[in-house]
Amino acid sequence: MILDQITKLLVLKFIALNGYISIFSFLKLVHFQNSGAAFSFLHNAGGWQRYFLIAISSIAVTWIPFYYVRNKNKPILLAGLLFILGGALGNLVDRIRLGYVIDFIYLHIDEWYWPAFNIADSSICIGAGLLLYDAYKRRLDD
């Protein structure tokens, strides 16, 4: 969460809204405001999505510590939960403070662009991957 918030503050300070800095031929740092969810889903929904996404994130942030305590002997699961918690908190702070999430990592190959994302989004994806791996591993062990 801290890394996510620091990088977003740097983007706010050094990159104009909708501006960019080219890092490599396939990577740009951009300054986009995403009022929707992942991949800008619901970004044109008229404003209600802010409160809906705050509610969903708040439920996740509240639920994860309880689930964490109940699964102390599952290190991969716990790591996944911590990644998801950090990412959810990072984006939740943006939604409450700004009303949108700052996305700044923009990958592309030629004219094919991946939707912009941020450190919190990456953390959530890593966490989800760890949860899937843990579930797969436990299924093999059964």
Per-domain residue ranges for the chain?
2-9+45-141
Q: Buried (b) or exposed (e) across 98-129, using 16+ Cβ within 10 A?
A: eebbbbbbbeeeeeeeeebbbbbbbbbebbee
The vertex-2 CA angle with 36 and 117, nearest 5°, equals: 30
121 is catalytic: yes
Which residue of the set 94, 121, 134, 142 is catalytic? 121
pLDDT at residue 82 greater than cutoff 80? yes
Band of residue 75 on the pLDDT scale cut at 50, 70, 90? very high
Mean pLDDT of all residues belonging to the chain: 91
User: Residue 2 has what pLDDT?
Assistant: 96
What is the distance between the alpha carbons of residues 104 and 34, in angstroms, rounded to a whole number?
10
HEC letters along 58-121: HHHHHHHHHHHHHCCCCHHHHHHHHHHHHHHHHHHHHHHHHCCEEEEEEEEECCEECCCECHHH
Q: Is the pTM of this model over 0.85?
A: yes
What is the distance between the alpha carbons of residues 40 and 21, in angstroms, rounded to a whole number?
21
Percent of the chain with pLDDT over 90: 74
User: Residue 45 has what pLDDT?
Assistant: 65
- CB 121 within 8 Å of CB 87: yes
Which residue of the set 4, 94, 103, 134 is catalytic? 103
What are residue 16's phi and psi, to 5 degrees?
Answer: -65, 155
103 is catalytic: yes
Instruction: Tokens for 78, please give them.
Output: 């716990």
